């Protein structure tokens, strides 16, 4: 687990690969192991933290530039903005991959009763943990992922979506 964390942190391994591996059908026997969910959540957290840190850095540089304009600070600010744009695109794609894999997993277990309930609980837990970050992609995810999923999966999505758009989360 430590090795995977390091690889994700240094971008040797991308988060989408971790998501695909953890939620892939070949791993279905291991999904009940908490270590798999720790790996998944840690990888997602690294991506969301990277984006959050870039936003904070841009705010700091903007304030610094307003107080003491210089070419050096302007260069750092422009570079940070480009990095944020890239990071936001990667994060958006990561959440699309995450939701696609969850839809596949949930669809695969719909007929199995307890397995579906277990997979639905993990989906709900993941959505709760990252609801603040998912909020920005909520409409896009609904249109691209959930509108075409089985009704039972769509119904599950509609129960967790209000968490993503709650006003108190974005204050």
Burial tier of 134 (Cβ tally within 10 Å: 0-12, 13-18, 19+): buried
- pLDDT string in tens for the chain (171-residue length): 677 777 777 778 888 888 888 887 565 555 566 777 888 889 999 999 999 999 999 999 999 999 999 999 999 999 999 999 999 999 999 998 888 888 888 777 666 666 677 777 888 888 888 888 887 777 777 777 777 777 777 777 777 777 666 554 444
Q: Any idea what DSSP says for residue 71?
A: H
Task: At 40, give phi and psi (nearest 5°).
Answer: -60, -50
Burial tier of 27 (Cβ tally within 10 Å: 0-12, 13-18, 19+): middle
Q: Tell me the domain boundaries of the chain.
A: 2-170
CA distance linking residue 157 with residue 21, whole number of Å? 22
Record the pTM. Answer: 0.80
CA distance linking residue 141 with residue 147, whole number of Å? 9
């Amino acid at each position: 687990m430590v090795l995977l964390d390091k690889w994700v942190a240094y971008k040797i391994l991308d988060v989408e690969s971790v998501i695909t591996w953890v939620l892939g059908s070949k791993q279905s026997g291991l999904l009940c192991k908490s270590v798999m969910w720790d790996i998944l959540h840690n990888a997602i957290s690294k991506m969301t933290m990277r984006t959050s840190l870039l936003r904070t850095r841009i705010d700091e540089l903007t304030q610094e530039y307003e107080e003491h304009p210089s070419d050096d600070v302007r260069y750092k600010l422009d570079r940070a903005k480009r990095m944020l744009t890239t990071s936001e695109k990667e994060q958006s794609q990561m959440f699309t991959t995450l939701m696609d894999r969850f839809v596949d997993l949930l669809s695969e277990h719909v007929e199995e009763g307890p397995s579906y309930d277990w997979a639905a609980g993990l989906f709900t837990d993941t959505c709760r943990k990252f609801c603040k970050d998912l909020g920005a992609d909520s409409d896009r995810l609904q249109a691209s992922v959930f509108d075409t999923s089985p009704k039972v999966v769509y119904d599950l999505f509609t129960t967790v979506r209000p968490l993503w758009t709650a006003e108190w989360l974005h204050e």
